[in-house]
Amino acid sequence: MPQHTPAARVCRDCDGFPIVAITTGTRHTDGTRTTLRITCPTCQGTGHATPATGLTRTGR
């Protein structure tokens, strides 16, 4: 019987696309576009959700 590994939870803010390139609209002298690389602030560029991001347990 095959063993399945549990799938890692995908980050809810970036949907698994943690690093994106955004064009600024300007071009370099060689004709290529100027881009900014932006990482997801929630998962810090991993694409996976951590189980307890910023949550604390209170009460009993």
**pLDDT confidence band for 16 (50 / 70 / 90):** confident
CA distances from 9 to 20, 43, 59 (A): 19, 11, 27
Is the pLDDT confidence value at 3 over 70? yes
At 23, the pLDDT band (50, 70, 90 cuts) reads very high
